[in-house]
Amino acid sequence: MESADGTTTLWRPVGPAELDLLRTSGMTAWSPRLPDQPIFYPVLNQDYAEHIAREWNVAASGSGYVTRFNVLTSFARRYPTQQAGGAGHLELWIPAEDVDELNRSIVGPIEIVGEHRGL
């Protein structure tokens, strides 16, 4: 979602371990990717992020969280939108080596906007 202020809103579903790393940064930066994580994939709508947090993160770790953050649109536009399954399953695939630049392009804090827990 592009805004007139030159930023684009993105969402990212995370599990508790990634949320802990995010909190360590002061909710301002994403951690470097692990060797088995060649891409960082924020998603383009909250509904899709909620689905991933609820269905995947809860199943994998007992809880899932949805984060929202803004980046400079000029940065986001460098990466073509990827459709991962259904029509609303839209992502940006940012190579792991570009995460530092992504972090420099974040405008404002990274916010937690949703929380899901297992039964």
pLDDT tens per residue across span 80-95: 999 988 888 999 999 9
* Token pair recorded at residue 83: 């459709």
Q: What pTM value is reported for the model? A: 0.93
pLDDT tens per residue across span 92-117: 999 999 999 999 999 999 999 999 99
d(CA 41, CA 32): 13
Sign of CA dihedral 49, 52, 54, 57: negative
102 phi and psi angles, rounded to 5 deg: -55, -50
